Amino acid sequence: MKRRRWLTGGVLGGLAWAWLDLGLAHAGAVPPTNPVTFTLDASSPVTVSLYQLDSALPSTVSLQSPSRCITTGTSFYKDVTDCWLPEWSPAGGGKSVFVVVNGAAGTPVLVPPVLGISLPLAPGAVNPFLTSLTTSAYPGQCTNFGSGTEPDFTLGTPTTFQTSPTTSVLGYELRPTDCGGMAVIQVGSLKFVLPRDGTAAVPANGIPEVWENLYGGNLDPSADTDIGPVASALMGDGISTFDEYRGFIVSGKQIRTDPKQKDIFLHLVNPADSVGGVFVTSRSCGTSCYGGGTTTYPAPTAPSATLTVPATAATVGAIATFTSSSAVFSTAHVRGEIIGNASGRARIIAVTGPTSATAEITQVFPTTSLSPGAWKVSESLFALVYTLVAPEGLHLLGHAPGATNLLTNEWVDNFVSVIPAQTLNISDSVTDRIVNPNRLYGPAQKGVRAMEGLNINSSSVLGWSFGVASPNDAGNVIVFTQRIIDYIESLLVGATTLKYSTASFVNGVLTWSTPILAPDGDPTIAQDGVATSAGVRAFILSKAFQFYTGHEIQHSLDLTPGVQGTTRTTYGHHFPPGTGDCLDQAITTTSKSGTVTFSIPSVCGTADQAQFLIH
């Protein structure tokens, strides 16, 4: 492609001619919107097109990507009319697109927003910025983020740019100040809705066709009909389809969520408990066992496989796909880390197969291959929740992995303190944890706050849920991480061998696996099952952390089986220990002749999947 740039200097004389030709030759064009029917006037000789700098576009997109355009590898401006959606982030602001008018010489202007809009709208109400055909001024910047009611776009002065070696065009910079706003551009008497909304036959509805078509087209903006994880589960995640389109800032990055799959919003507070304003610290992890302390769980392990490191792993911030020589990766690794012992760190975004994971580089990998024992990988703390929603449906708000986390501006955060053992102080519990404060449709929806308590004021290993229901009724939970460590260690006194078993579905029934020697997590040593091995203990502790953290979170997802006990024993909002379900009350162990076997659930049963509900 570099070859084309050589031609640029020789063709300047042809620019004016090429510009005039553009209107007819153009692939992507948005016709004007009929102000009565809100359909597109396909017969109009005047249209608009959109351009972005090709080299500034990503090489791939996912369903969550803010925009849909990908680079073709040139240094020119690319026609993005058919793929562009607004992009905005707290750090970078709006990402510009250039508007080109085809078939007319008029200067485009941005139609200012209609005033006096009252939100949220009634169910089924038509977007008022659409009915008035004005640029939108949605509250804040995204469904969960920001404040203010400024126009959602600005339109700049004329700019000339190259769309090919031989073509230069005149455009106007359109810069979003919102994650999902609607720009209305007027040329003469014609008005154009950007991104393109509606067709010649289907009226605009406030949701661009580029996004709607990912989910079957022409959606109801006020609907909340998410399904999953099983067909019989009740519908909805509390976020309307329009607000899912408009999108969220999740740990600093803009995403759009799936209107057909449930989304869970979660904020981790680690540590959460404090005395007189001073955070409690722990014997085993210092500041936190969830990240930012001296030890973090789940702990990384070293797979017995060679890791092939892509060239892009030499750039911080790049998205790279790693491959392993044998099966290593599972869904549980999403949001975990790949770590080179000598150098290199990457945060796993997606696992595409047992030998392949896509990850964001956070520290440069200097080599292209890492042999067994030279690299590690860690699972996610939230692996148990992934058995209810896919990892991309669990959104960690305001989360810095590997660090402590307290407050976030990615939801309404009224957290004040937790005083040991578990006195929770929230300044305003009515608005606390709302994740859609800037919504266009529907009621307020809350997320889940998972708090790490480091106090050991009680010996109970069980966490605490401030109510058992959905996030709108409960939604604050504490996990006592030092107590988990103390409990596991108490079981290891006198032990020589540690074994591990977990339950999986076999013909719809939770079935415990044959216990294995707990792995030491290092192919260069042979200490599997050795009770004194640091790696073996870290493995058991990691599985315990995932279990207790997951099931406390799940109390806020309506996974609250009532008393499930026998005639002699009850288990509160749990299944009995040993059932194998993610909502088991506790880990079970057996001890015989120095061998301690841990049975730790790692999946939710079909009963949980059918009951899982957010409201």
Span near Ca ion by CB under 5 A; candidates 163-171, 205-213, 367-375, 553-561:
205-213
Q: What residues form DSSP beta bridges with 129?
A: none
Cβ closer to Ca ion: 201 or 316? Answer: 201
Cβ closer to Ca ion: 199 or 513? Answer: 199
Among the listed residues 155, 207, 313, 485, the single contact to Ca ion using CB under 5 A:
207
Please report how the helices 481-491 and 534-554 are oriented relative to each other, as an axis angle in degrees rounded to 10. Answer: 130
Contact between 313 and Ca ion (CB under 5 A)?
Answer: no
Among the listed residues 54, 263, 432, 520, the single contact to Ca ion using CB under 5 A:
263
Cβ closer to Ca ion: 212 or 273? Answer: 212
Other Cβ atoms less than 10 A from the Cβ of 13: the count is 7
Measured in Å, how far apart are the chain's first and last C-alpha atoms?
52
Cβ closer to Ca ion: 229 or 463? Answer: 229
Instruction: Give the C-alpha separation, 38 to 193, whole Å.
Output: 10
Cβ closer to Ca ion: 236 or 340? Answer: 236
The residue among 194, 259, 246 whose CA lies nearest residue 440 is: 246
Contact between 224 and Ca ion (CB under 5 A)?
Answer: yes
Q: Are 368 and 311 in contact (CB under 8 A)?
A: yes
Quickly tell me which residue has 């501006």 as its tokens: 409
Span near Ca ion by CB under 5 A; candidates 195-203, 275-283, 462-470, 492-500:
195-203
Instruction: Give the C-alpha separation, 579 to 576, whole Å.
Output: 6
Q: Give me the least distance between CB of 268 and Ca ion, in Å please.
A: 21
Can you list the alpha helix ranges (DSSP code H) found in 180-317?
Answer: 209-212, 241-246
Cβ closer to Ca ion: 152 or 197? Answer: 197
Q: Are 116 and 201 in contact (CB under 8 A)?
A: no
Binding mask 355-394 for Ca ion (x = CB under 5 A): ----------------------------------------
Span near Ca ion by CB under 5 A; candidates 39-47, 135-143, 204-212, 325-333:
204-212
Q: Give me the least distance between CB of 249 and Ca ion, in Å please.
A: 16
Q: Give me the least distance between CB of 607 and Ca ion, in Å please.
A: 23
Cβ closer to Ca ion: 206 or 298? Answer: 206
Instruction: Give the C-alpha separation, 352 to 318, whole Å.
Output: 17
Instruction: Give the C-alpha separation, 426 to 16, whole Å.
Output: 64
Among the listed residues 54, 152, 237, 608, the single contact to Ca ion using CB under 5 A:
237
The residue among 308, 380, 379, 320 whose CA lies nearest residue 346 is: 320
- One-letter amino acid at 444 equals A
**Token pair for 279:** 């955070």
Cβ closer to Ca ion: 445 or 501? Answer: 445
Q: Give me the least distance between CB of 60 and Ca ion, in Å please.
A: 22
**Token pair for 82:** 């058919």
Among the listed residues 152, 178, 197, 558, the single contact to Ca ion using CB under 5 A:
197
Cβ closer to Ca ion: 182 or 478? Answer: 182
Q: Give me the least distance between CB of 383 and Ca ion, in Å please.
A: 21
Q: Give me the least distance between CB of 223 and Ca ion, in Å please.
A: 7
**Token pair for 20:** 């005039």
Residue 357, C-beta contacts closer than 8 angstroms, at least 6 positions apart: 321, 322, 329, 333, 338, 348, 350, 351
Contact between 239 and Ca ion (CB under 5 A)?
Answer: yes
Cβ closer to Ca ion: 239 or 359? Answer: 239
Q: Give me the least distance between CB of 611 and Ca ion, in Å please.
A: 18
Span near Ca ion by CB under 5 A; candidates 137-145, 194-202, 325-333, 540-548:
194-202
Span near Ca ion by CB under 5 A; candidates 98-106, 249-257, 356-364, 373-381:
249-257
Span near Ca ion by CB under 5 A; candidates 12-20, 234-242, 383-391, 473-481:
234-242
Residue 209, C-beta contacts closer than 8 angstroms, at least 6 positions apart: 195, 196, 197, 198, 199, 217
Span near Ca ion by CB under 5 A; candidates 225-233, 414-422, 443-451, 499-507:
225-233
Instruction: Give the C-alpha separation, 596 to 591, whole Å.
Output: 4
Residue 278, C-beta contacts closer than 8 angstroms, at least 6 positions apart: none
Total of chain residues touching Ca ion, rule CB under 5 A: 10
**Token pair for 614:** 């957010």
Contact between 581 and Ca ion (CB under 5 A)?
Answer: no
The residue among 519, 45, 545 whose CA lies nearest residue 284 is: 545
Instruction: Give the C-alpha separation, 32 to 106, whole Å.
Output: 14
Q: Give me the least distance between CB of 422 and Ca ion, in Å please.
A: 31
Q: Give me the least distance between CB of 400 and Ca ion, in Å please.
A: 25
Q: Give me the least distance between CB of 382 and Ca ion, in Å please.
A: 17
Other Cβ atoms less than 10 A from the Cβ of 164: the count is 16
Span near Ca ion by CB under 5 A; candidates 124-132, 172-180, 190-198, 482-490:
190-198
Cβ closer to Ca ion: 441 or 500? Answer: 441
Other Cβ atoms less than 10 A from the Cβ of 109: the count is 12
Q: Give me the least distance between CB of 240 and Ca ion, in Å please.
A: 6
Q: What residues form DSSP beta bridges with 97?
A: 174
Cβ closer to Ca ion: 128 or 521? Answer: 128
Span near Ca ion by CB under 5 A; candidates 95-103, 157-165, 263-271, 593-601:
263-271
Cβ closer to Ca ion: 258 or 528? Answer: 258
Among the listed residues 226, 273, 379, 528, the single contact to Ca ion using CB under 5 A:
226
Q: Give me the least distance between CB of 516 and Ca ion, in Å please.
A: 37
The residue among 516, 486, 500, 612 whose CA lies nearest residue 560 is: 612
Span near Ca ion by CB under 5 A; candidates 218-226, 331-339, 548-556, 558-566:
218-226
Contact between 243 and Ca ion (CB under 5 A)?
Answer: no
**Token pair for 63:** 């369903």
Tell me the HSE value of 298 on the side-chain side, using a 13 A CA sphere.
30
Q: Are 204 and 34 in contact (CB under 8 A)?
A: no
What is the 3 state secondary structure string of 400-413? CCCCCECCCCCCCC
Among the listed residues 141, 144, 167, 205, the single contact to Ca ion using CB under 5 A:
205
Q: Give me the least distance between CB of 13 and Ca ion, in Å please.
A: 43
Span near Ca ion by CB under 5 A; candidates 64-72, 145-153, 230-238, 567-575:
230-238
Cα angle 610, 614, 615; round to 5 = 130
The residue among 228, 223, 261 whose CA lies nearest residue 243 is: 223
Positions in the binding site for Ca ion (CB under 5 A) = 197, 205, 207, 224, 226, 237, 239, 257-258, 263
